[in-house]
Amino acid sequence: MSVLSLPTAYNTPSENFSDYIYHFGGVKKIGKTAFAAQWPDHYILEGEPGNAAHLKCRFTDIHVWLDAINAINLLRQKPGYCKTLCIDGVQAFYDMLVKHVAQDTFKLKSTDRIPIDVWNPIRVQWSEFWRDLRQLGVGLIANSHVEIKEMLDLNNKNTSVILPVLGKQCAEVFNGIAHFTGIMLRNDIGGRELYIVGTSHLECGHGITDHFLHPETKKPLQYIDMGESAKEAFDNFFAAFYNMHVPKEIEGRRTKAITGEDVPQPHITKEIPKITKKGV
């Protein structure tokens, strides 16, 4: 029987940049993987084989679920191999797990409908996967594609929301683990910005206390300027964590939020695919 005790002091959130799990969403080829390749002493598990081959980085293409499990085992055997581990393509990894459990464990055909009793072991293994990653003791980042979903706003009107491509069960587990979700978008002058506070058009945000604040106003940053290169993007993100980043403002592209404060208006482009089917 477990014995509970009441805390005797307040919890102190970590000041270490690498102690948090970061999740980045963006359209294909916007630079998510190149951004990941700038993180300190990184290693990328690539869920879309071939996607990292053009970058100067350490990576392994993951083709099937057992590749991912074997990679974790290798990292356990070689502590200190990397300081930052990137899961490039969260939904791709989850899809591999679904296929593994359904076809390899339960011997279902690819055309069979997956019964309810198969989804529970999938959820358990998905949770264990992220538990094992966290126990490696390295910084964790994850990348996802984004899509547009039509949703009802507070006025019961349809609005377009940009959100990471994550199936229902995949998201239920992963969103409870990630401390930070940012959406990378192109702006009107050809640059890129990472939005880190959700709006009626963006599903993102973070719960990292006393970080990502404007150095002068001490108010939460709405977005981070990603600069002209992957290196500049990382430098700005790192500076933003320690409240040292002042993002550029683009004239004529700002609007008023419900709070009355100035916030950037998301730039929704046609390159973001619409949702065509409901994920699981």
Q: With bands split at pLDDT 50, 70 and 90, how would you rate the model's confidence at 250? A: low
Distance separating alpha carbons of residues 153 and 161, to the nearest angstrom: 10
Across 131-143, average pLDDT: 97
Residue 269 has pLDDT above 80, yes or no: no
Distance separating alpha carbons of residues 245 and 264, to the nearest angstrom: 16
Q: List, for residues 48-69, the tens digit of each pLDDT value.
A: 999 999 999 999 999 999 999 9
Q: List, for residues 151-199, the tens digit of each pLDDT value.
A: 877 778 888 899 999 999 999 999 999 999 999 998 877 789 999 999 8
Give the CA-trace dihedral at 8, 14, 20, 25, to 10 degrees: 110
Position 187 scores a pLDDT of 81
- Give how far Cα 166 sits from Cα of 77, 219, 272, Å: 31, 30, 15
What is the residue-averaged pLDDT of the chain?
A: 88
Single out the residue of 146, 149, 144 nearest to residue 275, CA to CA: 149
Of 3.30.1380, 3.10.20, 3.40.50, 1.20.1070, the CATH number of 17-264 is: 3.40.50
Residue 278 has pLDDT above 90, yes or no: no
Is the Cβ–Cβ distance between 200 and 190 less than 8 Å? no
Task: For 213-252, give the DSSP string.
Answer: B-TTT-PBPSEEE--SSHHHHHHHHHHHHTT---PPP-TT
Position 2 scores a pLDDT of 73
